[in-house]
């Protein structure tokens, strides 16, 4: 049954068992090397069980266990438990084809997936793309993290998610990590700079720290350091996620270099940003080049089809979103603009700024600088502390001989110093508003207060504690200067009911990616950004999916009586109003000003305040956006991301036609192919219980010191066990904070129903459970505890054996599975055949349905009368041969379809290279050409290469029904006739 193979043999495929160095291993992946193949394996025999390794055929003697030469043994286990476990586990561990339209596990995670989220998963996995590489550009609050989690879960089920790297801003690392583990059972080890150093201490100096853990999450700030680039270039990933990708599109920056380094090292690339277009079309093209270098021609033109398949973009009021979010996303209330009449002291500063700095009566302003006076204005509108800091910093840099500027600054400083918390009307308005909404000692109301200036944050923190009589822990400050651990702690505290934190006074570090809506629906702009993008980002912290209370956005607007241009209250008020209009009508604000960057928008608003531009000219209305023809490529991008049909014919030679109603193509994605995963078990806990009983001789409840696990299934849908040493080793890849917070190595608790899982997750998110990690982890279909239990259970089945069971068949029937894999060992196609009497074959679409029909259910009765035919060896061999002939046309069709897919991409690459020959090469084009060359080499490995046909089980007729057999067997598979697939 074991045979040596030639080192250049291409018969290796995932699912095969091999013997290497006197040990048995299961092949989990295959890749071509320079002089043969590299096999990724997991240990099966006792000495290497659970060990993962890689073997090269050029270096080791590889012996393959022939899957068709098996021993057939009768299943003597109760209710054919061994067979059910073997079949269920084999079907789960055999990857489904990447481009299978049906989603396998996405619906079974700890969430209530909405149709628009599922359609995003389908688009990411569509065979329209050579590989899963997409930009998730959904507007703020739609749940991009959940969509990413579902995509990663489906990739794992497809055998393409073993190694995952997630890159996020540092302050949302823990939030992202918790979501992926708590909801999807995808463990990410968090590596900040300290974590990387800690890993390095465990490894030899020559070992790459990014190979130590298979799935990690790292902040962009940490990873962009040049010292990690060489190490990252040498590591391959199955999937890379980059959140807030708009921070990495400017060519020449460290963030962009990081993105360019990672993109070629991964098969699946998931980019996410609610604001992917920063005003420069070249930056948007940079994102597309990361996903598919052929999406942008050498001349810089965008490809229509490329944008359709690479971008996912919806917003709160898109039809497919609005129809399903319902009460899970309360509509935002009308914004409250609170005009504040300035005090005498505030008026004095405003008048000084207007008469001496903004509109000086005698020539230039004291600084002889066009921009600095407006820096003073912004500081004044923030707080007296911010203005004091700005003046002090300027005085440090003013030449001693510049008496005019120094005197003007000192005079302004003296006036500013007279503003205190007692006479600042703007601050008083904040205190009054907070008291009105119920913020105070021994009260639960929470609020987020945003300000641009760190000095303002601390000034507010100090004074609010005093005037609201709040304890120190109730008013906290968050800004970008804090460590990532401190930022994550503050975000975590704000979500927990057991936390004392009630007022989070934060800078704009919290305006991107942070979820603050769990216990809060009130947000205050203490100062108003001169940017619609920033306003939208801030508002999205509490206005997002999962918000059950109508979010209330409030802006405080200081209105100086003698401020001149400093008191342009109506400009800032209209800015807030335009954001709200765009939020309702467009779902996005970027197109209103067309600058797509905070700094660009601030410059335009400054012009309005200077009266050199009109507000309506700078900030368009939603009607202007929908009714105006685009004038340039940037305008076209605006309308693209706003989701409007530009009325251009698809395929038009006009290069601008690429923006023709591309993004909203998502709305047409059908969810009819999203089906529930079939299983031999009613629930995950039934599967786990069977595995534990099989592995621990029907006594998993025994204590661990008596060869058990202390397994208990409580009446409240919680199961728990004590992890043995081999399970503890596997748990090492789980989030370290989770292992510590829940003492998982001592006792692992599992929530066995989705309802309980959601309840415990909500308790954890609000801190009611003592930690933001759930007390009992949801037992989903990808859970590592189940993987461990089934691996341990099936060691009782000797390698090279399959079981025989009794069933409702007329003659001995073999269930056969065939897989077609590419040169990288990835499953391209999977099919099933039943063969009766070794001769009569029938393809089946659903092996689980067939197994249920022949009687293999959790209620099956094993009478211990299974009789293995004397000619079992010949029967299995003949059945495999028959199945091979039957399946060959189907496999050939799958092979042809996959090859056509590859040929299509190669033709695109060839056309791109042809266009390049006629142009003068820029550095960007040369870089794209290099990447395309690398992609062509990779594409060659995606070609279908190997077939594996293996018997799974032998079903013999029940003893009491043998007298019904006839010479020509009647087949019970006819129910599948209408569901057969090519």
Nearest to 825 by CA among 27, 102, 52, 265: 27
Least confident of 30-44, 475-489, 651-665, 711-725: 651-665
CA–CA distance, 541 with 522 (Å, rounded to integer): 10
Q: Is 666 in contact with 308 (CB distance < 8 Å)?
A: no
Task: State residue 796's pLDDT score.
Answer: 66
Question: Rounded to whole angstroms, what are the CA distances from 452 to 201, 478, 528?
Answer: 40, 11, 8
pLDDT bracket for residue 388 (50, 70, 90): very high
Please state, as a whole number, how many other Cβ atoms lie within 10 Å of the Cβ of residue 497.
14
Count of C-beta atoms within a 10 Å radius of residue 880: 23
- Would you list the DSSP string of 761-815? HHHHHHTTTSSSS-SSEE--TT-HHHHHHHHHHGGGS-TTEEEEEEES-SS-EEE
Question: Does the structure show a pLDDT above 60 at 108?
Answer: yes
Residue 666 near residue 314, CB atoms below 8 Å = yes
| pLDDT tops 70 at residue 640 | no
Q: What is the pTM assigned to this prediction?
A: 0.81
Give me the pLDDT at residue 622, please. 80
Per-residue model confidence (pLDDT) at position 662: 37
Q: What CA–CA distance (Å, rounded) separates 591 from 344?
A: 40
Give the residue carrying structure tokens 């130590």. 212
pLDDT at 638 over 70: no
For the cut 50, the answer to whether the pLDDT of residue 472 exceeds it is yes
CA distance 148 to 129: 17
Residue 667 has pLDDT above 70, yes or no: no
Domains and CATH numbers, the chain: 1-66 (2.30.30.30), 94-102+796-982 (no CATH), 106-328 (3.40.50.10810), 336-643 (3.40.50.300), 684-780 (no CATH)
* Least-confidence region, from 465-474, 483-492, 735-744, 966-975: 966-975
Q: How does residue 969 score in pLDDT terms, banded at 50, 70 and 90?
A: very low
3-state secondary structure (DSSP) of residue 53: strand
List pLDDT tens digits, range 856-890. Answer: 998 999 988 899 999 999 999 999 999 999 988 98
Mean pLDDT of all residues in 487-502 = 88
The set of residues, in sequence order, having a beta carbon less than 8 Å from that of 900 and lying 6+ positions away, is none
Please tell me which residue, 38 or 967, carries the higher pLDDT value: 38
569 — pLDDT class (breaks 50, 70, 90): confident
Tokens for 884, please give them: 């091979």
Supply the pLDDT for residue 140.
78
> Which residues neighbour 570 within 8 Å (Cβ) at sequence distance 6 or greater?
none
**Mean residue pLDDT across the chain:** 85
pLDDT in tens, 90-107: 999 889 987 888 899 999
Which pLDDT band, with edges at 50, 70 and 90, does 965 fall under? very low
Interval 750-787: pLDDT, tens? 999 999 999 999 888 776 667 889 999 999 999 999 99
């Amino acid at each position: 049954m074991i045979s040596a193979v030639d080192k250049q043999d291409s018969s290796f495929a995932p699912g095969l068992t091999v013997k290497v160095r006197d040990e048995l291993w299961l092949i989990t992946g295959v890749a071509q090397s320079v002089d043969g193949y590299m096999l990724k394996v997991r240990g099966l025999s006792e000495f290497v069980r659970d060990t993962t390794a890689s073997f090269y055929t050029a270096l080791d003697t590889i012996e393959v266990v022939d899957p068709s030469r098996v021993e057939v043994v009768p299943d003597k286990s109760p209710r054919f438990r061994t067979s059910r476990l073997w079949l269920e586990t084999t079907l789960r561990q055999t990857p489904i084809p990447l481009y299978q339209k049906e989603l396998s596990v996405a619906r079974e995670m700890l969430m209530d997936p909405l149709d628009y989220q599922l359609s995003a998963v389908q688009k990411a996995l569509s065979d329209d793309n050579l590989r899963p590489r997409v930009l998730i550009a959904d507007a703020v609050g739609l749940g991009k993290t959940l969509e990413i989690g579902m995509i990663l879960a489906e990739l794992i089920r497809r055998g393409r998610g073993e190694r995952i790297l997630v890159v996020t801003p540092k302050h949302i690392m823990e939030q992202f990590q918790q979501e992926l583990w708590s909801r999807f059972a995808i463990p990410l080890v968090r590596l900040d700079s300290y974590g990387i150093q800690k890993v390095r201490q465990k490894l030899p100096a020559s070992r790459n720290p990014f190979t130590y853990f298979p799935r990690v999450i790292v902040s962009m700030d940490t990873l962009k350091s040049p010292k990690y680039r060489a190490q990252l270039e040498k590591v391959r990933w199955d999937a890379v996620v980059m959140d807030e990708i708009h921070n990495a599109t400017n060519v020449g920056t460290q963030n962009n270099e990081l993105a360019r380094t990672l993109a070629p090292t991964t098969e699946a690339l998931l980019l996410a940003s609610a604001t992917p277009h920063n005003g420069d079309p070249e930056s948007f093209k940079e994102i597309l080049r990361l996903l598919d270098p052929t999406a942008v021609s050498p001349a810089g033109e965008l490809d229509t089809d490329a944008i359709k398949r690479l971008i996912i973009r919806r917003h709160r009021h898109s039809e497919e979103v609005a129809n399903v979010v319902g009460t899970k996303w309360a509509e935002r209330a009308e914004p409250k603009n609170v005009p504040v009449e300035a005090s005498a002291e505030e008026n004095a500063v405003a008048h000084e700024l207007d008469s001496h700095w903004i509109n000086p009566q005698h020539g230039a302003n004291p600084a002889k600088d066009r921009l600095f006076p407006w820096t003073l204005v912004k500081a004044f509108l923030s707080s007296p502390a911010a203005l004091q800091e700005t003046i002090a910093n300027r005085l440090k840099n003013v030449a001693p001989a510049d008496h005019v500027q120094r005197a003007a600054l000192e005079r302004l400083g003296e006036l500013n110093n007279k503003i205190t918390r007692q006479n600042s009307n703007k601050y008083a308005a904040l205190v009054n508003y907070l008291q009105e909404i119920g913020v105070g000692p021994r009260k639960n109301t929470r609020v987020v207060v945003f300000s641009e200036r760190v000095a303002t944050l601390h000034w507010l923190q100090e004074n609010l504690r005093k005037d609201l009589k709040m304890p120190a822990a109730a008013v906290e400050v968050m800004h970008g200067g804090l460590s990532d651990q401190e930022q994550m702690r503050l975000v975590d505290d704000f979500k927990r009911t057991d936390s004392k934190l009630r007022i989070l006074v934060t800078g704009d570090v919290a305006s991107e990616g942070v979820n603050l809506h769990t216990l809060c629906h009130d947000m205050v702009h203490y100062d108003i950004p001169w940017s619609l993008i920033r306003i939208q980002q801030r508002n999205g912290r509490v206005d997002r999916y999962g918000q059950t209370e109508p979010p209330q956005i409030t802006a405080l607007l200081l209105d100086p009586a003698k401020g001149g241009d400093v008191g342009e209250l109506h400009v800032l008020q209209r800015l807030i109003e335009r954001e709200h209009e765009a939020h309702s009508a467009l779902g996005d604000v970027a197109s209103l000003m067309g600058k797509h960057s905070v700094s660009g928008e601030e410059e335009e608003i400054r012009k309005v305040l200077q009266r050199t531009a009109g507000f309506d000219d700078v900030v368009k209305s939603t009607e202007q956006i929908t009714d105006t023809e685009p004038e340039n490529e940037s305008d076209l991008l605006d309308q693209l991301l706003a989701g409007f049909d530009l009325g251009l014919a698809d395929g038009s030679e006009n290069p601008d036609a690429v923006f023709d109603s591309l993004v909203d193509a998502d709305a047409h994605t059908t969810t009819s192919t999203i089906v529930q995963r079939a299983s031999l078990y009613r629930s995950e806990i039934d599967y786990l219980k069977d595995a534990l009983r099989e592995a621990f001789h029907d006594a998993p409840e025994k204590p661990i010191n008596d060869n058990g696990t202390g397994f208990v299934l409580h009446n409240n849908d919680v199961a728990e066990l004590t992890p043995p040493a081999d399970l503890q080793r596997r748990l090492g890849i789980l989030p370290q904070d989770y292992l510590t917070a829940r003492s998982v190595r001592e006792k692992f608790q599992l929530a066995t129903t989705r309802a309980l899982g959601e309840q415990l997750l909500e308790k954890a998110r609000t801190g009611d459970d003592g930690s933001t990690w759930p007390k009992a982890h949801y037992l989903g279909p990808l859970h590592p505890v189940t993987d461990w239990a089934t691996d341990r259970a099936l060691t009782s089945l000797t390698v090279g054996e399959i079981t025989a069971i009794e069933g409702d068949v007329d003659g001995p029937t073999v269930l056969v599975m065939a897989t077609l894999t590419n040169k990288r060992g990835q499953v391209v196609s999977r099919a099933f055949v039943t063969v009766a009497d070794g001769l009569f074959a029938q393809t089946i679409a659903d092996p689980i349905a067939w197994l249920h029909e022949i009687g293999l259910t959790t209620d099956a009765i094993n009478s211990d009368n299974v009789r293995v035919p004397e000619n079992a060896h010949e029967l299995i061999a003949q059945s495999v041969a028959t199945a091979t002939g039957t399946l060959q046309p189907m496999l050939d069709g799958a092979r042809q379809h996959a090859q056509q897919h590859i040929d299509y991409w190669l033709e695109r690459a060839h056309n791109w290279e042809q266009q390049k020959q006629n142009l003068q090469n820029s550095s960007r084009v040369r870089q794209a050409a290099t990447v395309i060359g690398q992609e062509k080499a990779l594409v060659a490995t995606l070609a279908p290469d190997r077939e594996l046909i293996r018997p799974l089980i032998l079903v013999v007729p029940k003893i009491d029904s043998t007298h019904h057999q006839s010479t020509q067997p009647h087949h019970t598979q006819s129910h599948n006739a209408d569901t057969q697939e090519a």
